[in-house]
Chain A
Amino acid sequence: MLFKKIVPQRLLHEGLFLSAEKSPDKVAVIAEGHSYTYSELVDSVLKLSNALMLRGFVRGDRCVIYMDNTWPCVVSIYATLLSGGVFVVVNPQTKKDKLEYILNDCSASTLITDAHLHNVFSEVVDEVRSLKCVITSGDMSEIDSSAIEAFDDVVNESSGVFPYTAGIANDLSALIYTSGSTGNPKGVMHTHSTMVFALNSLIEYLRLSSEDRLLVVLPLAFDYGLYQLLMSVQLGATLVLERSFTYPAQIFKRMEEASVTVFPGVPTIFSMLLSMHKRKEISFPSVTRITNTAAALPPDYIDSLKEIFPSALIYKMYGLTECKRVCYLEPELLEKKPSSVGKAIPGTEVFILDAQGNKVLPGETGMLYVRGSHVMLGYWNQEELSDEVLVDGYFPGEKILCTNDWFKMDEEGDLYFQGRSDDIIKTRGEKVSPVEVENVIYGIKGVLEAAVIGVDDEMIGEAVKCFLVIEKGSDLSLMQIKKVCVEKLENFMVPKYFEVVDELPKTNTGKISKKDIK
């Protein structure tokens, strides 16, 4: 009864209340085997939202959610939105220095996290002056700080009345941190308006309905994972939420139990499925759509994927966090255009421009630009970097997004990725900034020079490779270097290959010349 007035939908979380109104007893989320209905989700969201506001959380505050893919993580995302706040989901693989950087960069007022990550966050929370509240889910027995509250207690002690909150569609809803070429991650600013728009466009072309059951094994810190949740809740569908794809047999069991219909993956996951299929045949006939993004799906995967998912349409897509998604190939065109990523998503358009800003002819390569209501507001507190990618559009004051990727288009308007114009590495579906990795390696005593590049790798897109010059007489071993890397970097950023060399090629001005390495 409470939510009938939400028409038309303007705010992201209104989708939750509309779905709960329609089907309160339907399962909203199956998290690691436990089912939660829409009314249970609303109840927990209302309680956590009231609890946050009681602790001083106000409209526009940033709540960093540093958690695994769990039920409390889902509740925290929607409770932040309902409280008028901005959610910032951070990958649980993130190490101390970067977590501290993000908390300070967005001046988070609230941190919601998992107890098993306490080795990382407990050293950081005292260094972040903006933090007013830290809430932790899971087994609290190893946490000795009385300032840290238990998630279940906070939720259970609160009132479940609908809180009064202001907010309009132009408000920020999320900051999504992504690797930048300067080394530090940048917070991509999305509003309720950009996210609701993107969400509905995705739902349209993926042909989703409330009958679907979507699987997420990708981190919710990654917008591709996050949008599975947002789409599912928006539709009143069911989300099957898993922490990771590490233990495939467990995922397969959950997929069968829940008759999953949508399987979003990245090439790494598909290649793992393929190698398991080779060992022993696997098949998921309930799946009607599989989607791929983050890196190109090798065309020779398609036949085996059709064996594994005999009823599925296969979607190849391309996007960037700055606008969520750019384009997709209609699955019916997969055989005809195996290397294309298709056309702009519904309600948006793209252009390929040359260096002078003129449109290029079909077949010619140029820079891809994106126009639509899904484009971000900019990078949080990074005006200069924002201006580099948000450039003048058609109308006075209008901004369009420069993808920094080279593309070409065929006569029918379908797009083909040609390469990146910056040196960001795309590996295992994630972006890696070479500078971020180099900064860590330069911090190791005995390292004289380091250069990080991406090298082609069939399974993971690009593999991170580091060339090193080590000080003469130093007894530094590769093992010691790798150890520092795993302590300071997320797993996907740790170089797969190291090569020690006597010297690195330089430009005339003495800078390391990456294009001469390889």
Chain B
Amino acid sequence: MEIESKLRNFILENYLFTDDQSALNNEDSFLDKGIIDSTGILELIFFLEEAFSVVVEDEEMIPDNLDSVMNVVKFVESKA
């Protein structure tokens, strides 16, 4: 739960510039919704590495791991 809320707040604040929780569904594809693009993805990686003390390998930078709140939460949990 803590990972999810921290992550959601990061995305809302840094990519959608709002604190309105309804602006983001956990299943929303970041690519489809235009939330994150190629210049935003490294920021997300740096955030994950810092906030959750995980290391994201280059080969892990795929949509299955990173393209929605749900996917990221699953990915971070699997690394813990």
Contacts and interface: CB of A to CB of B under 8 A. Distances in A.
Interface string B30-72: 1111101111111000000000000001111111001100000
Contact of A280 (B38, B42, B57, B66): B57
B16 A247 contact: no
Contact of A246 (B13, B18, B38, B58): B38
Given A248-B58, A249-B61, A479 B37 contact: no
Interface in A239-261: 243-250, 252-253
Contacts, number: 69
A250 B62 contact: yes
Contacts of B29: 116
B36 to A, nearest CB: 6
**In this complex, which of A248, A253, A272, A280 has the most chain B Cβ atoms within 10 angstroms of its Cβ?**
A248
A486 B17 contact: yes
Contacts of A480: 17
Nearest to A138: B32
A428 interface: yes
B62 to A, nearest CB: 5
B16 A279 contact: no
B42 A272 contact: yes
Contact of B37 (A93, A248, A253, A276): A93
Nearest to A428: B39
B32 to A, nearest CB: 4
Interface in A102-136: 116
Contacts of A486: 15-17
Contact of A247 (B13, B33, B34, B66): B66
A481 to B, nearest CB: 8
Given A93-B34, A248-B58, A248-B61, A482 B17 contact: yes
A382 B21 CA distance: 44
A247 B41 contact: yes
A248 B65 CA distance: 12
B36 A249 contact: no
Interface of B: 13, 15-18, 29-34, 36-42, 57-63, 66-67
Interface of A: 92-93, 116, 217, 243-250, 252-253, 268-269, 272, 275-276, 279-280, 282, 428, 460, 479-480, 482-483, 485-486, 491
